[in-house]
Structure 1
């Protein structure tokens, strides 16, 4: 019985670590996306900027589009890869 409970705890920690790594990967992807567009397109003089919906393209792609893509990615990741884990030992023993 004790071994079975320990295995369930190990599974919970394994799942939590996996989900934490996925969260870190999303944060790193967000930073790379933002940095690439903000400094890649924003290194020109303001007279040479192109505009999307009245915003400089570097700002639109890094902040507006980047936010939309990250929101969709987070929703997708949570719905597909994240699983519900019971936090109470009693709940874990019942399932």
Structure 2
């Protein structure tokens, strides 16, 4: 059963989930950027892993796997399943008064 939250609780949860999502995206972009550009310019001779240059392997392959796992963990720990349509009883009384 999906829990009913008050309007204030729903808004706080939505803001929290949005900030976490943006934070994960920024972290993924920074990982991709610094692994890709930082390692590519740091060495003139490439190291290859599975036929791919190290900078590409770390930025695109490892980064994708790492942040896919991070998203799964974050969603299980911080995100809540709740109805956007139904409002808890506390708010229904306030809506009738207004």
Q: Is TM > 0.5 for Structure 1 vs Structure 2?
A: yes
Could you tell me which of 8, 13, 29 is aligned with 1:10? 8
Q: Secondary structure at the match of 2:6?
A: helix
- How far residue 68 of structure 1 moved from its aligned partner, in angstroms, is 0.1
Could you tell me which of 80, 83, 87 is aligned with 1:83? 80
Mapped partners of 2:58, 2:86: distance in 1: 46
Deviating beyond 3 angstroms after TM superposition, the runs of 4 or more aligned structure 1 residues are none
Residues 10-35 of structure 1 show CA distances to partners (whole Å, capped at 9, x for unaligned) of: 11000000000000000000011001
Mapped partners of 2:59, 2:37: distance in 1: 9
**1:17-56 superposed matches below 5 A:** 17-43=15-41, 44-45=43-44, 48-56=45-53
Larger RCO (alpha carbons 8 Å, 6+ apart): 2
- How far residue 89 of structure 1 moved from its aligned partner, in angstroms, is 2.3
The unaligned stretches of length 5 or more in structure 1 are 1-6
Q: Secondary structure at the match of 1:84?
A: coil
Could you tell me which of 56, 61, 69 is aligned with 2:58? 61
Residues 8-61 of structure 1 show CA distances to partners (whole Å, capped at 9, x for unaligned) of: 10110000000000000000000110011000111144xx11111110000000
Name the TM-score, length of structure 2 as normaliser.
Answer: 0.80
State the superposition RMSD in angstroms: 1.5
Matched positions, count: 84
Mapped partners of 1:14, 1:54: distance in 2: 47
